[in-house]
Structure 1
Amino acid sequence: MLNIAVVGAGYWGPNIIRNFYENPACCLTAVCDQDTDALNRLKEMYGPQFRYETDYSALLEDSQIQAIAVVTNIPSHLPLAKAALEAGKHVFVEKPLAMTAEDCRTLGQLAEKNSKTLMVGHTFVYNPAVRTLKDIVNSGELGDIYYFHSKRVNLGRVQTKFNALWSLAVHDISIVLYLFDELPTEVRAWGNAFITPGVEDVVFLNLTFPSGKLAHMHVSWLDPEKKRQVTLVGSRKMVVYDDVSLDQKIAIYDKGVDKILTDSTYPEYKDFSEFQLLVRSGNVTLPHLNFVEPLKVECQHFIDCATGKIDKPLSGWPEGEAVVRVLEAGQISLEQAGHPVEIVWPTLAKKR
């Protein structure tokens, strides 16, 4: 059984705490936060089931604690995770892994040096619906993938420190990199800050991939409707993933545009004028999904990696670095009013 501690009991921390507490494959040993009010709220829920600490060093010095989950604000990820790895702990870090790709690499190399698991919380790659999307893409059912389009908008939760790119697009970037299994070469981002100066409330992000695939993302906390939707368009079929839907999250559309050769005498010499374009609209397939809370799957995956049951995490440090490198390029483009930014990928950041 893995003895684990969680640092961070703020907005997202209680969800991580709940999942590790309820998991029989681990023992939640301690929770740490400098905010005593946050700890008191946990005490009302859990009582003396685990220790409550305000001093992070108490977790690092406890030899019984084998793993630490870092669920704090983004700038603190690097020092907290680094200290845990140096103390010989396996480490889970909430997304994004760090503020810069170089910081991600620093943590990754330290984890490899110490033979410890370093995993980042890209929760959506543990979502059964996204896993199903991945299976659909890999099966070839959609044909050649043309483009990815996502919309993640709502009225709230308004952020005042990190813009919509870092707060929201991080999810969709992790999804598209997982689905496409390739890394973009160019990023463009544009948006505006309407509520808090310098913190963009709406961001549009475009990614270009070496294969010719495109991705477009729209993220905002300033929108009248709650939308969490991904569309994949292929040469044969199209699929829509609606995370907000309660009953049917994935729909596969047998729709597309077919190019028919009107004269097959010498097909190798025919130009576009001798093709007929036919719009096809067929059936809609609604695959059944066995829903399991993605966070539960994610936490179990970390436990399995830390205990040696799984060799490498699905969202390890290379995946974390890749997402942050896209975010960094997007931030540069955002500050340059959508100017395209090229990404040069170091070898270690590429998909394993």
Structure 2
Amino acid sequence: MAQGDTGLSATPHIALVGCGYWGKNLCRNFHALGALYAVVDATENGQLTASSIAPDAQITDSIEDVLMDDQIHGIALATPAETHADLAIQAMQSGKDVFVEKPLALTLEDAEKMKKVAEETGRILMVGHLLEYHSGVLKLREIIASGELGKINYIYSNRLNFGKVRTEENALWSFAPHDVAVILRLIGQAPLEVSACGGSYLTNGIADTTMSNLRFVNESRAHIFVSWLHPFKEQRLVVVGDKKMAIFNDVAPFGEKLQLFPQKVEFDGSIPILKKEDAEFVEHANTEPLREECKHFLECIQSKKQPLTNAQSGIDVLKILHACQQSIEQNGVPVSL
């Protein structure tokens, strides 16, 4: 089917650009979905990795080869963030739909330009906010939307580990995009202001740990603690409503990742009374988030529907990351949005 058609009946053909630390996971998933057509990587290691995962895929070091190939419908970018804007725009102007790993771009100007090109060319532009495709997070969204938790008072997210230490970007930009994206989705609005602080202990000027605070309309709050200099791994999201509370613990075994706590505070006159019941585990599908994310991209190519994590989603996250970075550089001064 020609690339200009409104939809595809068969599985779209995907070219992956970058088969390194994270790209190899995209390679595995698109190959498993029967969609991987080609892999572009300039390094010998990347090419060997791609050929070992997907021996039938075309392997090349030239992105021009895949952009000129009419058999390829979509491009997945797993390249350094500074290359995202130029490569995505080039791909969309060549008639390809595009999936970009987070962050969408490094600057808001580039992200807005990418969105404009997607609109002008009629192409799909999707950003890889992986956690939004986790079945536990999707179930948590359902619970919040149903009103079961009541008004959301606050959310906090810890994303902590010993490594992977980076020297080209700080922990905020490396770890926090996932948490920002999920918090925005759960609360359903952008914050009024943010403040953040961080500490650099390994590389001068590169924060190894950051704490970001978000203030929303109606005084809902959220904070995000990220670090790659931490003694153990923790990926925990806590949502506190005025009726119930919930925990999403991504390092827990399947079946124990999402918990609901029927806890709240009532008042007898001016005296607070704690209402507490046993926590319960919440069932959700046992699916791989990255597989679901890749499937969603293929479905969007076929249907031409906007993805859940579209360009505007990427821009919304980027605005908060930039505001938090500005606050870090000003020693925690609040920044309005």
Structure 1: tracts of 5 or more residues without a match? 262-274, 344-352
Tell whether 2:297 aligns with 1:295.
Answer: no
**Is 1:126 aligned to 2:120, yes or no?**
no
TM-superposed deviation, 1:45: 3.6
- Residue 38 of structure 2 corresponds to 30
The aligned counterpart of 2:6 is none
Q: Which deviations, in whole Å up to 9, do the C-alpha atoms of 1:143-165 show, x marking residues without a partner?
A: 11100011100111111111000
Q: Which residue of 1 aligns with 2:229?
A: 222
Match of 2:328 in 1: 334
User: How many Å separate the matches in 1 of 2:158 and 2:312?
Assistant: 25
Deviation per residue, 1:177-232 (Å, 9 max, x gap): 11111011101110111001111000000011123210011100000011000000
Unaligned runs of 5+ in 2: 1-10
Q: Find the counterpart in structure 2 of residue 346 from structure 1.
A: none
The aligned counterpart of 2:215 is 208
d(CA) in 2 for partners of 1:97 and 1:69? 12
1-structure distance, mates of 2:215, 2:157: 15
Q: Which amino acid aligns with 2:229?
A: L
Q: Pick the aligned partner of 2:25 from 2, 11, 15.
A: 15
Aligned mate of 1:175, from 153, 177, 182: 182
TM-score in terms of structure 2 length: 0.95
> C-alpha displacement at 1:305, in angstroms?
0.7
Q: Over residues 96-116 of structure 1, what are the superposed CA-to-partner deviations in whole Å (9 max), with x where a residue is unaligned? A: 100012211111111111111
Does residue 2 (structure 1) correspond to residue 12 (structure 2)? The answer is: yes
Q: Pairwise mapping of residues 1-352 of structure 1 onto structure 2 (< 5 A)?
A: 1-24=11-34, 26=35, 28-47=36-55, 49-247=56-254, 248-261=256-269, 275-308=270-303, 311-343=305-337
Q: Aligned partners of 1:209 and 1:118: how far apart in 2? A: 28
Shift of 1:312: 1.2
Q: Distance in 1 between matches of 2:126 and 2:82?
A: 17
Three-state SS of the structure 1 residue aligned to 2:277 is strand
Instruction: Please give the alpha-carbon distance, in whole angstroms, between the structure 2 residues aligned to 1:37 and 1:233.
Output: 46
1:101–1:322 Cα contact (<8 Å) kept:
no
Deviations 1:64-109 (A, max 9, x none): 2111001111101011101001111000000110001221111111
Q: How far 1:174 sits from its partner (Å)?
A: 0.7
After superposing the two structures, state which structure 1 stretch, 225-234 or 59-68, moved more: 59-68
How many residues align? The count is 326
